[in-house]
Amino acid sequence: MNNQTNVQICHENVSVHGPMTQSQFLGSLGINFRVDALLQNCDDEQPESLRSGYWRLVGDGEAPFWDEQTPIGMGERYLAMAIVNRNQGTPAPFQ
């Protein structure tokens, strides 16, 4: 079997989905609902840490709600994609 044959076999058996931004990907997986649930059930010291972490994952640029050293959001900087067996269908975030 040569490389061209291997490439053809792979091409026939996989599907590629994306790319989409990290923000879109995590949003499709329900990060907004999860953060809301965590914020409703946390103690007084946790909300700022949760908001900061959330912004870091899904935000774009500097967080608008901090005056000091602000975390830079990665939501638009990073992309997600999936390469899956064609028989498995489209992964949930990419539907």
Number of domains in the chain: 1
* pLDDT tens digits, one per residue of 10-58: 778 999 999 999 999 999 999 999 999 999 999 988 998 898 889 889 9
* pLDDT tens digits, one per residue of 53-85: 898 899 887 766 666 666 678 999 999 999 999
Domain that holds residue 79: 3-94
Q: What is the residue whose two structure tokens read 């076999």?
A: 9
Looking at residue 60, its pLDDT comes to 85
| C-alpha span between 82 and 36 (Å, rounded) | 27
Judging by DSSP bridges, how do beta strands 79-85 and 60-62 pair with one another? unpaired
Residues for the chain: how many in total? 95
Looking at residue 72, its pLDDT comes to 77
Rg (CA), the chain: 19
Looking at residue 1, its pLDDT comes to 60
